[in-house]
Amino acid sequence: MSDELVWVPTQTTILGSDHHYPEEAPAREVTVDGFAIMTHQVTNAQFAEFVTATGYLTVAERPLNPADYPGAPPENLHPGSMVFHRTAGPVDLKHLSQWWTWTPGACWNHPRGPRSGLRNRDDHPVVHVAFEDAQAYADWAGLALPTEAEWEVAARGGLPHATYTWGDEPEKPGQRLANYWHG
């Protein structure tokens, strides 16, 4: 994968939405100055280079301090992350525990849990990184994380009023226009 930067010129877009989730409202017009952004997500190989060079431990790998979690059972105080699991069919989307499971030992280089690895996934986007981890990588790489408005502008690709980043029509069966679970 490329770590190439592309220039996004100054522009105005609509940030948020009044039609979907309450936390996205209110929709508002924002203008961002021109900025550079990577053309692809940070890959496992790129993140591994950072970890090798710095010895960095991600939030998902760090031991937990029991004092930060008073009353938590000791068996729950292990580093890990939430792992996505396919479901047999539709589930109630209000209950993320039906398709996400807390998995001790899951982290960037063990994406499905402690017995998984990155074999054949060097070019996949790195997962299980917290904001703090992303910031540490960006600092090391001499980059900056985009602001929410910058990311929205880049993701919309010049379509400031579109419902989706590719336009106003949802994906058709068999189309893959965004990187999300299609199940």
Q: Tens digits of per-residue pLDDT, 117-159?
A: 999 999 999 999 999 999 999 999 999 999 999 998 998 888 8
- pLDDT tens string 68-127: 999 998 888 999 999 998 888 888 878 888 889 999 999 999 999 999 999 999 999 999
**Residue 1 pLDDT:** 46
Domain residue ranges of the chain, discontinuous segments joined by +: 5-70+124-156
Amino acid identity at 176: R
Q: ∠ CA 164-15-165 to the nearest 5 degrees?
A: 20
Q: How far is CA 170 from CA 15, 164, 182, in A?
A: 19, 7, 12
Residue type, 133: D
Q: How far apart are CA 123 and CA 36, in angstroms?
A: 21
